[in-house]
Amino acid sequence: MGAISLRKVVKRYGTGPKANQVIHGVDAEIADGEFVVIVGPSGCGKSTLLRMVAGLEEISGGEIWIAGRMVNDLEPSERDIAMVFQNYALYPHMTVFANMAYGLKIAKVPEAEIRTRVDKAAKILELAPFLQRKPRELSGGQRQRVAMGRAIVRQPAVFLFDEPLSNLDAKLRAQTRLEIQKLHGELRTTSLFVTHDQVEAMTLAERMIVMNAGRMEQIGTPDEVYHRPATTFVASFIGSPPMNLVRGTSEGAGFKAGGQLLPLPRPAPRAGELVLGVRPEHVELGFDLNAAGWPLRVQALEMLGAERLVYGTLGETLFTARIDATARHPKVGDIVNIAVTPEQMHWFDAATSARVGA
């Protein structure tokens, strides 16, 4: 069984008052067979957290459990894990078969079993025709599959992926994401996957951990994280374009922002300083300036094929609306009305950035 438990995990460099703490008490429970993605911007601590699980970084506090064992003091080779890196790290002078079999040979696994494991992994990854080729004869996507195959033959309790798709072009990334999904569906091995790409996170994860400055901002399914972000950071990081965030003050049935009072279809969950969040796709544009709504002055438009982005200012705040490309659209300089249903409004505390209300 490959469940992972992170219990108040801390990482700091140095000692004493000058110590630099980069991971701040991360708590997470990852079930056996679950695929969890750690996502966040560069420098947020996601790779450091993964390397601590792998045993490549010592932890400064807390506990890491893998498959029912606390592994704080165990070497990487003793943790029953297999890691796939951003760099394929293949031996250039060895064939695909030899690269995939190398770890098993070092572990003195019998030749017949090595052959069986490699053939099975090659079949799963569609590498059977390439087993006698050298890495230089393969495409980038095929090399990454070899790296994954080398991990699969180990038959570990846990797979750890450290941004394995970042060296691939956009088309290969999409293809390899599908292959990883298929692979997990067949093997159901517990997997921890690190990426800065929110598209990878949203498409691969059964649950995702959103990291910011060494802290876990939210853990949940992609649907939960997207539709109910726990903080303004999550709201702005997950989604492209990001959620609109308008800072202001709740006043009864209105919201005062940037010197103007915006009417609300439903009062905010509480009075006082708040941040109002609205996804661009939940904005409705209206062209009747006498109708109820919020005035948006259009500054730019982007045509993206099936959809169009409308950028403007709501008072002093930049605001984005996403509309169907075939729908009527304004021109730069126009003022339009925008409306949002109360179900699509998100409220956050202005001081703590935490979600307020349901």
Give the mean pLDDT of the chain. Answer: 91
**Span 21-35, average pLDDT:** 95
d(CA 349, CA 339): 22
d(CA 160, CA 281): 34
Long-range contacts of 241-245, Cβ-Cβ distance < 8 Å, separation of 24 or more:
241/280, 241/309, 241/320, 241/322, 243/277, 243/278, 243/279, 243/280, 243/346, 244/277, 244/278, 244/279, 244/280, 244/283, 244/314, 244/317, 244/319, 244/320, 245/275, 245/276, 245/277, 245/317, 245/348
Residue 97 has pLDDT above 90, yes or no: yes
Residue with tokens 């091995």: 189
- Which residues, in sequence order, are bridge partners of residue 207? 36
**Span 36-53, average pLDDT:** 94
**Span 158-181, average pLDDT:** 86
Residue 75 has pLDDT above 80, yes or no: yes
d(CA 87, CA 89): 5
Q: How confident is the model at residue 358 (pLDDT cuts 50, 70, 90)?
A: low
State whether residue 313 is helix, strand or coil. Answer: strand
**22-31, 118-127, 237-246, 300-309: lowest mean pLDDT where?**
118-127
Q: How confident is the model at residue 250 (pLDDT cuts 50, 70, 90)?
A: very high
Residue 188 has pLDDT above 80, yes or no: yes
d(CA 9, CA 350): 28
Return the pLDDT at 67. 92
d(CA 331, CA 80): 59
State whether residue 22 is helix, strand or coil. Answer: strand
pLDDT tens digits, residue range 265-283? 888 999 999 999 999 999 9
* Closest listed residue to residue 150, CA positions, set 123, 193, 117: 117
State whether residue 124 is helix, strand or coil. Answer: helix
H or E element: which one contains 104?
helix 96-106
**153-162, 169-178, 314-323, 339-348: lowest mean pLDDT where?**
169-178
Percentage of the chain modeled with pLDDT above 90? 68
Residue 19 has pLDDT above 90, yes or no: no
Return the pLDDT at 89. 81
**Span 89-101, average pLDDT:** 91
d(CA 145, CA 14): 38
d(CA 56, CA 80): 14
Return the pLDDT at 1. 65
Residue-range domains of the chain with CATH: 4-235 (3.40.50.300), 242-356 (2.40.50.140)
**Span 136-149, average pLDDT:** 88
**Span 247-255, average pLDDT:** 90
